[in-house]
């Protein structure tokens, strides 16, 4: 018997769309049939392949559910001082690898974070932001039925000081090194150099009622199945070698196109993250994740099962955030786990493919303030996005990944070119 299942080159090729297909339902039907055919040609069935990832994920779900029932903290927590000194224990590293998320305690001194928070208030108030605010710039989160309390502000001195700080670079390098920066004979990114991905801030006031933000993920939408680069990145899911699927392998993810959207991420991020600018208790409408990195394999294969309509990718479509939910992913939803109590100056991180949400809250105690700063290491994708970031930085515009709101163009007290340090210049590709 010839085992073609181990010769990936002879498997049927996949159609691909490097820009969003004009007829989405037709393209979804076509790619689903092609993915199934490819898996079948490897000698396995879709059901069999899905079962492998389901087993792997179930083990983690049970473990997390047991920890939660026992009142344990599911999220790994590591002190900044240990990261800086290189004294993070093997057990802590193993837990980070298993859970794919992390709280860094004391990433910044608490007073510094609180100072940044009040500097941001001064920055927006001195520029009459609240009088001029025109409402949300898009409906990107419409598919999960809620809206965040986000300020579309990118270029405050506080944000830029944090982005270019040595402490941020230390944590980013640590997180990047959890990934295999090299695989298949290629070095995919430079773990020691960040690209200063500019994102927004969230400030949710005391007493706030909020619906939170439904469970979703950020790495892309239909492009995850439909572009050639992502088909190669997720190759092990579709060629019968699912046992080799590694959520920490960046192969083929650090170049290649992303489908456009009014809110998107052109950058490759190893981890999403934010830095706390206020203390936040764990029951005050905080971030949750499904802390299982390999759940991405489950999410990618789930639409291929026979109970999903032929022209449906479990609700994923272009220009809307990728939803995760009880309808299609009840197993994963069981593992949804919130962060522990956070102090201003702590930072919170989660693997770029990970499902996350913000819990609802009524009459919130204390503020809920964060600045979003991810780990986005230097690579071809981030280098190319850095060109438009430089332009946005110089003109005070909204970065091109975000709605075209441009509040800060006339704000005289925004962070300036001369305020950049070496990390800042390198991150923007200016050195
Ligand atoms: Fe998100």
Predicted confidence band of residue 132 (pLDDT cuts 50, 70, 90): confident
The answer to whether 130 and 103 have CB atoms below 8 angstroms apart is: no
Q: What is the DSSP letter of 280?
A: B
Q: How close is the Cα of 233 to the center of ligand 1, in Å?
A: 21
Burial class (CB in 10 A: 0-12, 13-18, 19+), 39: buried
Q: What is the DSSP letter of 6?
A: G
What is the model's pLDDT at position 138? 66
The answer to whether 262 and 137 have CB atoms below 8 angstroms apart is: yes
Cα distance between residue 120 and residue 124, in whole Å: 6
What token pair was written down for 191?
A: 């773990």
What is the model's pLDDT at position 82? 98
What is the model's pLDDT at position 136? 77
Length of the chain: 431
Q: How close is the Cα of 213 to the center of ligand 1, in Å?
A: 9
What token pair was written down for 134?
A: 């025109």
Q: Per-residue pLDDT for 7 more than 70?
A: no
Residue 287 belongs to what H/E stretch? strand 287-289
Q: How close is the Cα of 252 to the center of ligand 1, in Å?
A: 22
Q: How close is the Cα of 261 to the center of ligand 1, in Å?
A: 14
- In order of 63, 97, 98, 367, 415, the CA distances from 91 in angstroms are 16, 10, 11, 33, 40
Predicted confidence band of residue 133 (pLDDT cuts 50, 70, 90): confident
Q: How close is the Cα of 402 to the center of ligand 1, in Å?
A: 13
Q: How close is the Cα of 44 to the center of ligand 1, in Å?
A: 34
The answer to whether 271 and 352 have CB atoms below 8 angstroms apart is: yes
Cα distance between residue 49 and residue 302, in whole Å: 10
What is the model's pLDDT at position 316? 97
Q: Per-residue pLDDT for 164 more than 90?
A: yes
Q: Per-residue pLDDT for 3 more than 80?
A: no
Residue of 125, 75, 60 whose CA lies nearest to 273 = 75
What is the model's pLDDT at position 134? 81
Q: How does the average pLDDT of the chain come out, rounded? A: 94
What is the model's pLDDT at position 144? 53
What is the model's pLDDT at position 4? 37
DSSP class per residue in 91-143: HHHHHHHHH-EEEEETSS-HHHHHHHHHHHHHHHHHTTHHHH----S--GGGG
Lowest-pLDDT range of 129-133, 223-227, 350-354: 129-133
Find all residues with CB under 8 Å of 120, minimum gap 6, and list them: 151, 153, 156, 158, 159, 201, 203, 277, 371
Predicted confidence band of residue 256 (pLDDT cuts 50, 70, 90): confident
Cα distance between residue 415 and residue 431, in whole Å: 18
Instruction: Give CA angle at 54 (182, 143), nearest 5°.
Output: 85
What is the model's pLDDT at position 147? 42
- In SS3 terms, 361-386 reads as ECCCCCCEEEEECCECEECHHHHHHH
Q: Are strands 356-358 and 190-194 parallel, antiparallel or unpaired?
A: unpaired
Predicted confidence band of residue 6 (pLDDT cuts 50, 70, 90): very low
Q: What is the CA radius of gyration of the chain?
A: 21
Q: Per-residue pLDDT for 148 more than 80?
A: no
Q: Per-residue pLDDT for 2 more than 70?
A: no
Task: Give the tens place of pLDDT for each residue, 259-270.
Answer: 987 777 889 999
Q: How close is the Cα of 313 to the center of ligand 1, in Å?
A: 19
Q: How close is the Cα of 36 to the center of ligand 1, in Å?
A: 29
Q: What is the average per-residue pLDDT within 87-105?
A: 98
Task: Give the tens place of pLDDT for each residue, 58-79.
Answer: 999 999 999 999 999 999 999 9
The answer to whether 266 and 65 have CB atoms below 8 angstroms apart is: no
Q: How close is the Cα of 354 to the center of ligand 1, in Å?
A: 9
Q: How close is the Cα of 344 to the center of ligand 1, in Å?
A: 21
Q: What is the average per-residue pLDDT within 402-423?
A: 96
Q: How close is the Cα of 309 to the center of ligand 1, in Å?
A: 26
Task: Give the tens place of pLDDT for each residue, 363-399.
Answer: 999 999 999 999 999 999 999 999 999 999 999 999 9
Cα distance between residue 67 and residue 64, in whole Å: 5
Q: How close is the Cα of 218 to the center of ligand 1, in Å?
A: 5
What token pair was written down for 189?
A: 């990114």
What is the model's pLDDT at position 141? 57
pTM beyond 0.85: yes
Lowest-pLDDT range of 78-82, 146-150, 352-356: 146-150
Q: How close is the Cα of 347 to the center of ligand 1, in Å?
A: 16
The answer to whether 76 and 103 have CB atoms below 8 angstroms apart is: yes
């Amino acid at each position: 018997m010839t085992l073609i299942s181990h010769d990936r080159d002879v498997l049927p090729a996949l159609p691909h769309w490097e820009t969003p297909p004009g007829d989405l339902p037709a393209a979804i039907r076509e790619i689903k049939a092609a993915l199934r055919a490819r898996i079948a040609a490897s000698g396995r069935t879709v059901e069999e392949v899905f079962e492998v990832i389901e087993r792997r994920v179930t083990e983690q779900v049970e473990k997390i559910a047991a920890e939660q029932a026992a009142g344990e903290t599911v999220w790994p927590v590591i002190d900044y001082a240990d990261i800086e000194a290189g004294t993070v224990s093997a057990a802590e590293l193993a837990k980070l690898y298993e859970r794919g998320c992390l709280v860094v305690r004391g990433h910044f001194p608490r007073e510094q974070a609180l100072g940044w928070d009040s500097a941001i208030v001064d920055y927006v108030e001195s520029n009459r932001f609240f009088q001029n605010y025109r409402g949300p710039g898009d409906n990107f989160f419409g598919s999960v039925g809620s809206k965040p309390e986000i300020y579309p502000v990118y270029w405050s001195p506080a944000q830029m000081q944090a982005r270019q700080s040595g402490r941020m670079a230390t944590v980013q390098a640590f997180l990047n090194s959890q990934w295999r920066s090299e695989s298949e004979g290629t070095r995919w990114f430079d773990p020691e150099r960040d690209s200063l991905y500019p994102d927004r801030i969230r400030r949710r006031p005391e007493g706030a009622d909020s619906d939170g933000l439904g469970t979703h993920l950020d790495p892309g939408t239909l492009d995850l199945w439909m572009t050639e680069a992502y088909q190669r990145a997720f190759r092990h899911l579709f060629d019968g070698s699912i046992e080799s699927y590694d959520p920490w392998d960046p192969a083929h993810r650090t170049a290649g196109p992303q489908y456009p959207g009014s809110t998107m991420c052109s950058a490759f991020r190893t981890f999403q993250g934010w830095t706390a600018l206020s203390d936040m208790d764990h029951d005050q409408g905080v971030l949750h994740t499904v802390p299982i990195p390999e759940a991405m394999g489950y999410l990618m294969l789930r639409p291929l099962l026979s109970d999903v309509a032929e022209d449906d990718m479990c609700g994923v479509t272009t220009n809307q955030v990728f939803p995760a939910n009880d309808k299609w992913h009840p197993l994963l939803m069981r593992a949804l786990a919130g962060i522990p109590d956070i102090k201003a100056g702590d930072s919170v991180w989660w693997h770029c493919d990970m499902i996350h949400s913000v819990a609802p809250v009524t009459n919130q105690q204390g503020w809920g303030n964060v600045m979003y700063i991810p780990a986005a290491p230097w690579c071809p994708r981030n280098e190319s996005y850095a060109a438009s970031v430089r332009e946005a930085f110089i003109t005070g515009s909204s970065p091109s990944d975000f709605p075209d709101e441009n509040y800060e163009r006339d704000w005289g007290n925004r962070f300036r070119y001369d305020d950049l340090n070496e990390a800042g210049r390198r991150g923007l590709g200016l050195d």
